[in-house]
Structures are given as structure tokens and as C-alpha cells.
Structure 1
Amino acid sequence: MKICRTVEDMRATVHALRTKGEIGLVPTMGALHAGHMSLVAQALKENQGVVTSIFVNPTQFGDPSDLEKYPRDDDADFAKLEAAGVDAVFLPSVDQVYTDGDETIVETTGLANVFHGLVRPGHFRGVATVVTKLLNIVGPDQVYFGQKDYQQLAVIRRMVQDLHMPVVVRDVPTARDTDGLALSSRNARLTPEHRAVAPVLNRALVVAEEALQGGAAIEYAADLIKSTIAAEPLADLQAVDFVDAATFDQATGDFCGAIGIMISALFGGILLIDQREVTR
């Protein structure tokens, strides 16, 4: 497995991999867990060459202390990726991605500033900008993201469509721990007490999904989510949003088709998100 630390090395490595066939890219911020590895596994199934990037992107963090505390373990990540059969890892420094005098940003002006974008202002601008850079550097045929980051996935799909990027966006179902908590690198920062109660997010989504599939209105399902999380004193609900899965418009009342439910909550200062797509 090749470890590339510069843009030039990454591009040369991808050029060589092209002789094998299609290239898949799995962008990550490291601290890899089973959720990341499910993306890698899907990429390995669908491509002849697979590249994983590890880059903790500073522009998507609103709080500098959150960036500083983000978990990092490159050696453990390398071992997992090599065992899986990844061809190359892109591990750039910040100045490789954001060069001196860098002043260009990429933003989906609507999607970046609604729903979860209101909880984390500027977050999706940072995501769209860094993903654009990674796509331009690697030039993959397919790029892989998890469904847990539901709005992020919508932002990236819109960006790729609007900018006519020659890449296919693939999504992979949310990976969960045995107690239902969506896997996230942030979980490692939870105290034992907060980790024990964090599965309340998934429980709230399950209750809402059951109500919706039983014919309940969206407003009733939203109240169920709020009451379920309010019953857990260590959880601080930040947002509950229901969106049309096709348009990402806010969904209300009765519905027919598919909707996405997005929730976010703080657990001792650590923001966790979860999602569920419901069809009826």
C-alpha cells in the first residue's frame, strides 16, 4: 500500500493505478472504524483501484478546540487499510490542500445553510470545498460516503451535479454498534456515561419510523423524537428535521414516498448526528 503525502505523488500513483481500471475514493478524517471500512469494502467491490484519503479538514470545524481534540491514529488506520487491500492512502498536510494564498471556496448556497447547517454554520462549506479539492487531486471514477451524514451526502450530490464533476457518488448504509449507536470517530471522545446513553438517538428514530409507517403525521413523529430524547437527561437535543428525500425540501403533515429524518444532539459537549430514511 502506497502512502502519498503530496499532491504530485498522489496524482502519479493514481496515474499508475489507472492501468488496472476504475478508481474508487473513500475520503475520511481518519480514526477509522467499521463504518469507514464498510465504505472501503464497497469501493473494493466496485473498482479495480481504491484510494483512501485521511485528512482532518480544518475548514469544516467551527470550534478550534473541536479540531484540536479530533482523534488521530495514522498507524492503526494504515494497518486496517492495508489489511483490507487498499492500494494507496492520501495523507496530506494542511498546506498541501490549502496552499499559500488560497482564497477559493465551494458552497451549495441553499443546502449548506438549512437544517444541520444551522447547527454548524460554515460546516458544509468546508466539506464541499475539501471534497472538491480531493476529487480534483485524485480524479476517481466513484467516491464513497456513508448515509449517516445525510445532509452532507445531499450537499455532495448537488455539488457534483451543479459543477458537472465526472464522478459517481456512492452511498453506503449507516454502520451501527450492537446497541444501535451510529459509528462515528467522535464516539471515542464520549465519557462512559455519555456513551451509555447515546443510543437514545437511534431509539428515537426507530420510534418515529414505526409511527410514520403506521400512518402518523410528521409532526407527531417529531414530538415522539423530542420526548424520547428529553427523557434522557444527559442528551441535549439540537435539531430534528424531516426532509423530502428527493428534493431536500422540508417535509410536513402526511406524506407519500420517501423522507429523511435528521437529528443531532450534544452529549457532554460532543455533537452526534443520526438519520433514518422512511418510505411509505
Structure 2
Amino acid sequence: MSDIRFDGKVAIVTGAGGGLGRCHALELARRGAKVVVNDLGSSMDGSGGSSAAAEGVVKEIEALGGEAMANGSSVADAAGVKKMIDDTMAKWGRIDILIANAGILRDKSFSKMTQTDIDLVIDVHLRGSFMPIHAAWDIMKEQNYGRIVVTTSSTGLYGNFGQANYGAAKLGLVGMMNTLKIEGAKNNIKINAVCPVAATQMTEGLMPPAVLEQLKPEYVSPGVMNLVKEDAPTGVILSAAAGAFSIARIVETEGAFVGVGDDLTAEAVAAKWDQITDTSRTLPAFKAGGEHGQHMFAVVAGGVKA
């Protein structure tokens, strides 16, 4: 098997001053990529220099013999994102890889959650992924090449107490990915999601030290490299933890036709509930929303014929 290399490629990693982002940035650099290490600086518009954390990762990359530059923009600020993209293009003239990793937590039970708690988390996770991707999108289209990774979470896919804001933002990223995999296909832009479980600043208070020791963030990055390589898949959710990897998918049961008109009642749905929810008859994952509609019409047609 040939080595996975990124020679000549330019990568942006947001939230790369520590944790997962730092590990992704270092691994990309080891494999030949030029890396923009983004981590929030003191100014919301990205001016005034980069954070010490980002500068530190740049020094680590340079010590490896690689090329990197620090960027202190907020991913939730339009001017800051524009500065990050403009600085990257001015220095290297292209953007091949974008890993949207920046994130925060504002955990509270739902009854105690405020509008600010929701807004801040959505700004950083969802808008903070949308804005850099949107800013780089036309550049990637012009190149006919782009590899993008968004960072989702098991909270978004499955739920977790006290994280309604975080879960909403993280599942929103999957929805965005599912559309961009379609829109980017003709221009060789591939987008995937990573669902990591790792010991970072965001998780250090949530798990025992012995567990955290097994969940090193560097154990996630090898999987991410496969999501941004030349022959990467697209539209994949890759779960990663402690050296183990799996694919998460949204799937649907085969379902049942209940009826229309006077035959369609709540009681009629209840009568067929076991068939509707029968997970032993699960379909392959749909590639686009249109396939979902086709399936539902097929169920209707089959039911009418019966």
C-alpha cells in the first residue's frame, strides 16, 4: 500500500492550537502539506496577530521541516474568516484541504439553557464551519479539487444529557455535509465528517483519567488523513476513538403503506406500527434526499397494488 502524502497541498485546520486540531495539523505537515494553523487570537476580526497556541504549533511543524503559518481569526467572524482565506491565498495561492475543527462547550440541562448558550455554540460549531467552507468553496471549484472535513459528535448523532445546543449544531454539520457532497461532486470536492472520542480540553472533566489516557487525540488523526487524501470517500461519517474506527449512517426501515383518505387514521398507523418500525428490514443508506422520496413512493405503489 502506497504512503498517503500531501506534497504540494495547502491545508487549513481550524481550532488547531491544541487537542485534535493540533494533531491533524502536525500529521498533515509530516505528510508534506503546507498548513495554516488557525486558533482564536485576541481580536474577533482576526487582526492583531495570532494566538500563542497557534504560533506554538507552527514552531512544532517547522521543527519537523515543514511549512506553516499561524492565523488568529475567529471562525465565527466574517472579517476574520476572510482574513484567514486571503492570507492563505496570498502566501500559497491555493487551498486544497479544510478541516473544520474549532469548537466550544456551553453544557447545561435544557431548562437552564439560555439563548446565549445556544447562540454561542451554534456560532462556533455550525456557522464556524459553514463560513470557512463557504469562503474556500469557489477556490476549490476553480481548482477542481477540494477535501473538507467537518467535526460532528456522538451527541449530535445519538444525544447526550446537557448538550442540546451542542448536539443541534453537530447534527447540523451532517446535514450540511450531505448537501455539499452532492454540490461538490462535479468539481472533485469531497466532504466527510469525523465523529471523534478523544481526550481534549473539551472532554477532560467528563471521563476518568484512565479512560482519557486511551483516548489520545493523535489516535483520531490517521482516520482523518483518509478523509482528505486524493482518493477519499465523500459523505462519510467516520467514528474514531482509541485506535478504533467505524462508519455511522442514517438508515431507514422498509416501512409500510397504511392507506389514504378515510383509510388513513391514527389507529391505522398504530395497527401497522410493528411493520413500520421493523429494523430487521433496514434499507441501504440513501445517497441523497431524492432517494428517500423515491422509496416512499415505491412503498405507496407496492401497498396500492397489494
TM range (shorter): 0.3 to 0.5
Higher relative contact order (CA 8 A, sep 6+): 1
Normalised by the length of structure 2, the TM-score is 0.35
**Larger strand proportion of the pair:** 1
Normalised by the length of structure 1, the TM-score is 0.38
Larger radius of gyration: 2
